[in-house]
Amino acid sequence: MHDARALIDLGPEAVRKLARRGYTLDLSSLESLQSRRVQSIRSAEEMRADAKRVAKDVQRTAKEGGDISDLKEHARKLKEQIRDVEAEQESIQQELDRFLLEIPNLPLDATPDGDSEEFATEIRKVGTPQAFSFEPKDHVDLGEAMGILDFTRATKLSGPRFTVTRGVGAELERALASLFLAIHTRRHGYVEHGVPFLVTPATMTGTGQLPKFEEDLFKTGVAERPLYLIPTAEVPLTNLYADEIIPARELPLALTAHTPCFRSEAGSYGRDTRGVLRQHQFAKVEMVRLCAAEESQQELLAMVGHAEACLKELGLAYRVILLPAGDMGFSAQMTYDIEVWLPSQNTYREISSVSDCGTFQARRANIRTRGADGKTTPVATLNGSGLPIGRTLAALLEQNQQEDGSVILPEALAPYLGYRRISADGTPQE
């Protein structure tokens, strides 16, 4: 969440920055709310000071044997007035908080202009897309022919946008998660966590999913206790440190987790509905880093490299792009997407998104660090996919398919599987 005073001080500059991502900041309304808040705080302070003076007058007059009835009545009225102004102050603060919670993060000026991937800046391509001597199949046809992906039975169980993996398919999912976790924990210094898959509204608010994006979430609860299924492990991992002060010597913190993710994909019907590219439930290894605010950009580049390491280990062709201001997530100030090559679509498709959120989430979740001067400041938070299991599986099948319908797997998975080839009928072959 933004600091209201900071936005007001930026003034037209804040309006300009937010306009780049398609948000119109009503600066006059913000200034009015902030002014009302300051005035209510000032009024309450003045009344409390007055109440203290009256209390002293009551004590002095009582000691002198004077009549304190009028003073006590004045004290009673002051108490009521303080209660009323405090209630007004709380109401104004809630209105201001609601206003601020709807405002997205300010994009860095280094992000390109534009509101779609069409305006993204390509940073690099890695690997050469394979040239097939035959018409390549998509992962759906390959997986169903092998019997390792079952979309029909998944639909029977849960409706569209769910997948059942079977045999080698399930083994491959497990192997990919193990490989990614091993890369991040052993090479990159992340600490693996097991986290809840159900979280509170406050937790969702901390990372920016609530209140604006409630329609994208799956909600449940126990009695009067509302809970949300996590859309990504970013939510519980980041909020592990909500309302805490992290010693500066402990930064940066690097956290990872393998979890299911649940997304309603509201408004996305008709797009990428075939296969595993856009599911209501999918598995993902997530990376989260917390660092000093001034170090967030170098940490962002490091995280992009960590996600790339997984694709390089698998020998998959991909590219890295810098997203334009209008195409970033709500909480991001800069985002790099990594897109893997899908032969069936003859194009690159997103497989990882790595974002620098600056202090935006930390302000919402109240995550701070203490400097050498003893003062506390918000940390910076970063998050990224490292990687989604289903999309990686799809890319593996498509990029490594053979004309006979079999698939040759990269050597990096051999220690986790014990084989490197999947026959056309889904049988593992050493």
Structure tokens at 185: 């924990």
Q: Which of 296, 331, 352, 353 is labelled catalytic?
A: 353
Catalytic site includes residue 391: yes
Return d(Cα 340, Cα 129) in angstroms, integer.
Answer: 10
Answer whether 359's CB lies under 8 Å from 297's CB: no
Q: 5 φ, ψ to 5°?
A: -60, -40
Answer whether 369's CB lies under 8 Å from 359's CB: no
Structure tokens at 277: 């590219």
Residue corresponding to tokens 């090479």: 187
Give one DSSP letter per residue of 271-307, joined into a string.
SS-STTSS-SEEEEEEEEEEE-GGGHHHHHHHHHHHH
Beta bridge partners, 124, equal: 320
Nearest 5 degrees, angle CA 34-CA 36-CA 41? 95
Answer whether 386's CB lies under 8 Å from 352's CB: yes
- C-alpha torsion sign, points 142, 144, 149, 151: positive
Catalytic site includes residue 350: yes
Return d(Cα 152, Cα 166) in angstroms, integer.
Answer: 13
Q: Which of 31, 350, 420, 421 is labelled catalytic?
A: 350
Beta-strand pair 219-222/318-322: unpaired
Q: Which of 21, 263, 289, 363 is labelled catalytic?
A: 263
Positions of E strands within 32-127:
121-126
Q: Which of 278, 319, 349, 420 is labelled catalytic?
A: 278
Q: Which of 21, 161, 368, 391 is labelled catalytic?
A: 391
Catalytic site includes residue 352: no
| Residue 128 one-letter amino acid | T
Catalytic site includes residue 83: no
Residue corresponding to tokens 């498509």: 398
Catalytic site includes residue 215: no
Return d(Cα 427, Cα 168) in angstroms, integer.
Answer: 7
Catalytic residue ranges: 263, 278, 350, 353, 391
